[in-house]
Amino acid sequence: MFRLSATVALLATALAVAVPAGSAAAAGPGSPPDVAVIGHRGSGNMAPENTLASVRLALKQGADYVENDIMRTKDGQLVVTHDLSLARTTNVEQVFPERTTYQVADYTLAEIKRLDAGSWFGSEYAGQRILTLREWVEAVGSSAGMLLEAKDPWAFPGIETDIDKELRSIPTFVQALRKGRVIMQAGDEAWLRSFHQLAPDVPVALLYYTRPTDEQLVAASTWLDAVNPALGNIDEAIVDRTHELGLKTYVWTVNFGGDMNRGIDWGVDGIITDYPGVLADVLRTR
């Protein structure tokens, strides 16, 4: 897996230099475009997603922000993992062969901490653990911003209260928030509205899984800070409209240089990528 990922990264870099760079988003002659490099699940295709190794690699590769996915354990602890089931990214089936469910919500934090969250990706990552939200925040520290995502919040009733309470008890988070380096995103609009009511000082971004309509963008401008669509679902007109409405836009999940350059040319505010190092290179060489 690691070797394949490294090959894809090299290919992405090669494609990046092959695509002529435009200048639409450039801040001025010779200065790099002002586009945030956002490491998806850390450096999500170069190290086991959402682990300490992945966060550290993203920071080393020049991420301005690190993205994550937040869920809740059976005993109410917040952890950083993407799937409702632990089966894809851990050895839960080997550690708990007698259990009939592998859902995050059915395991305590102590049980989850017994799982290896790195070996599925590569033997060199054996022993990586699923991080608590607190550990993840400390790992990002003051080195980068935080793009936090409440993943499938419908499965964790009341998680907005838990997230708000936990984050505010972490001095590193409080500092990052004060410096404007925190965004909370979700694909569940009703959930995001609940979180926003609870924590109006935390910037919020809604994920879009289709091309946002103009009606949706106008509505978004009444309460959101950013709209976050898949790059493949939008075009330059959408980016222009978000900016006209005073919104920012962070697009996902962009892994090839040609696509990165397309988003940069359109003037997006940030690009969420599994290869933050490649995006940082693309931005440096424009």
Catalytic residues: 40, 82
Please choose which of Ca ion, ligand G3P, none residue 207 contacts, taking the beta carbon within 5 to 8 angstroms, the exact cut-off set by kind: ligand G3P
SS3 92: helix
Q: Could you give phi then psi for residue 31, rounded to 5 degrees?
A: -95, 145
Interaction between residue 40 and ligand G3P (CB under 6 A): yes
Contacts of 42 (CB under 8 A, 6+ apart): 49, 50, 51, 53, 54, 55, 56, 57, 58, 66, 67, 68
Give Cβ neighbours of residue 31 (< 8 Å, ≥ 6 apart).
none
| Binder of Ca ion out of 69, 166, 225, 259 (CB under 5 A) | 69
C-alpha–C-alpha distance, residues 263 and 257, integer Å? 10
Could you tell me the smallest distance in angstroms from the CB atom of residue 68 to ligand G3P? 9
Beta carbon nearer to Ca ion, 149 or 265: 149
Q: In the bound complex, what is the minimum distance in angstroms from residue 187's beta carbon to ligand G3P?
A: 7
Q: Tell which positions 257-286 bind ligand G3P, by CB under 6 A.
A: 272
Vertex 161 angle, CA 159 and 164, to 5°: 105
- CB nearer ligand G3P, residue 67 or residue 265: 67
Output DSSP code: residue 252: B
* Six token digits for residue 206: 């809604």
Binding to ligand G3P by CB under 6 A, coded x per residue (else -) over 75-94, reads: -------x------------
Span of 14-22, 110-118, 143-151, 158-166 interacting with Ca ion by CB under 5 A: 143-151
Stretch that binds Ca ion, among 64-72, 108-116, 156-164, 211-219 (CB under 5 A): 64-72
Check if the beta carbon of residue 34 is closer than 8 Å to that of residue 27: yes
Q: Which residue is nearest to ligand G3P (CB)?
A: 252
At its nearest, how many Å lie between ligand G3P and the CB of residue 70? Answer: 10
205, 227 Cβ separation under 8 angstroms: yes
CB of 67 to Ca ion, least distance (A): 6
Q: Kindly list the residues in this chain that would bind Ca ion in the complex (CB under 5 A).
A: 69, 149
